[in-house]
A and B are shown apart, each in its own frame.
Chain A
Amino acid sequence: MATSPANVQSFYMVKRPNALAVAWKVIVKKPSRVIGLILIAIFVLMAAIGPMLYPPVLPINPLAIYAAPSFAHPLGTDFQGTDVLAEIITGARFVLLGAFFAALFTVLIGTSVGLAAGYFRKWRDSVLMRITDLFLTVPSFPLLIVLSTIWRFTSPLALGLVLGITGWAGLARAVRSQTFSLRERGFIEAARGIGLSDWHILTREIFPNIAPYIVMNLLIATTGAIYSEIGLFFLGIVPFSTNNWGVMLNMAFTQSGAMYTKSGLLYLLSPLACIMLVTFGVVLFLDAVDELLNPRLKGV
């Protein structure tokens, strides 16, 4: 069969449709992935526009303390008579932004350390792995608490940075072992043979091969960061700069007595449910990301 230019073009068109279309096709393949995407979209939207929908200080109403769910208050009210739904929506921004930064720093530190240790080996590897082991062994949450005494992190960025500093070690180990095995492969040897710089090999040859794994970890780290963030606020260790889900839990547990009454159930449960829903969304969506990025699953 003769190949006309038009045929060649259509061949490539079929082979490489645009990335968004591919992603969409992969996502709609399973309903669970669509649910995951919807959940993530809802919370991202909440974080983006939520605080604009309400006044900066939410109104309190002493006449409606722990009101039952109604049309005006779909999730009831808290110990001050503030609408719980409003608190949930305005509280999303801090939590999600902090978790995003945390995941970013975790991946940044973990990947650089893992790549360097796995690629350079010898003394650099042993030094880096000693440090990694130290961070893996010292329980990260107590370390976080101790760090919070010198570092009054009030912004999501600072909180994310600290969470990244305490949480990168596991990823570094995994990236190191992947780099180790990649390093022995023929194409890396060839790259070294033609005299490409270490920097080039690390960033252009090795990194793209572990990138899918790192993207997956970015998403997983987000959920872990949400837990730690809310844990810090829950224990009341980080100063309460803004309203967020962790502050709500802290109030429900320590000050308002929601813990001891059945009428406080929704106030206690709403932030917990949100944490679970975000996690659930990420886990469901992860499956789609895996298929999109994992070359071995492509075309199956």
Chain B
Amino acid sequence: MASLLVRNGRVLDPAQELDGISDVLLEDGRVSRIARGLQAPGSTVLDASGLIVAPGLIDIHVHLREPGREDEETIQSGSEAAAVGGFTSICCMPNTDPVNDNPAVTSFILKEAERGALTRVFPIGAISVGSAGERLAEIGEMVNAGAIGISDDGKGVMDGQLMRRAMEYSLPFKIPLIEHCEDLNLSARGCMNEGYHSTVLGLKGMSRTAEDAMAARDIMLAELTGAHIHIAHLSTRGAADLVRQGKKKGIHVTCEVCPHHFTLSDAACRHYDTNTKMSPPLRTEDDIEALREAIVDGTVDCIVTDHAPHNPNEKMLEFDRAPFGIIGLETALGLVLTHLYHPGLISLRRVVELMSTQPAQLINQPLGHLKAGTAADLTLFDPDAEWVYDLGQTKSKSRNSPFHGTALKGRVAATIVAGKIVYQSPEYFKE
């Protein structure tokens, strides 16, 4: 009977209104007790003095590339990077090769995860067959096999009628429809945000309206159908306003934002570094401000990474030819703490809500809290530790991050999944 005693940390569990120094006893992969001065003879002890002990972080938007592009990432390597970043659960997008648009792929992912992943892995199925936007994928079969949501992420569902059908059809399964909002005609094969910088750089721009227009359509369809629409990687002021209004009207709309979208603007593209190319693209300073406002006022439900590994050779292509996306699992918490918590925009409690409590609710999983009897997924972090991100140390198989060499304040000390330590920082724990 394996047990682990996490001692003397500041236990922060918004779901139970817990915030104070306490011990947490984990037994048989579950949370057993939270109290001060716990004694548990025979159990491993982890001294968490000076650290925050939170329910494990959950990233509901990552790309693990397996099956199909195991050179870029595998379920195992992606989960290792996740563990380093403090994530205990990750949800993988279906745009693999083959696309996760049927229960066989869903099951394959779960089996592979069981075999080698350090974290929990929840597959997201495709909305349409091959994510081609033409016919509905076997949504029910995938849910039955373990999918927790559906998405054609990577591109928007251009056919409004198909989107309406998908929403209606998925109602009985009580899963979120996660939409990559981008009207592909309006984004016009652009490769960065349309604005002053795209004009100066001579690069084709993707207008913010391309995101806003589809977000507006999807929120209206959610109102019509009663489905749960979740706006993926929201990046514009316009889309944030739409979500805010939708929530006010009682529409079941939620949204997520990525750390790069509230920390970097399109000015970062000026050296044609393809590690500043992602979709949606880096937007303007005004959008950054709007995203921060939306995080503060509760419009934003969760922070995700949109971790998108790419082969270095492909990222070495010309800016307009290089693939979209950056890796982000290892930098997410550091960026959130550095840019949102330390400047005083949000509290640590809110950080935990955005990265654990609320994403768990969004995917309808009994995670994101430390109530007795729940899965013993914990993240221990030091909100004040200063460090520099080094891509040379990454556990991901890819290297496409714009944050190499970036100084961050706040880092993960240990990650515990089902009562087992899957990552511990040598800075905090010797052994």
Q: Do A and B bind each other?
A: no
Question: Residues of B at under 8 Å CB distance from A?
Answer: none
Question: Residues of A at under 8 Å CB distance from B?
Answer: none
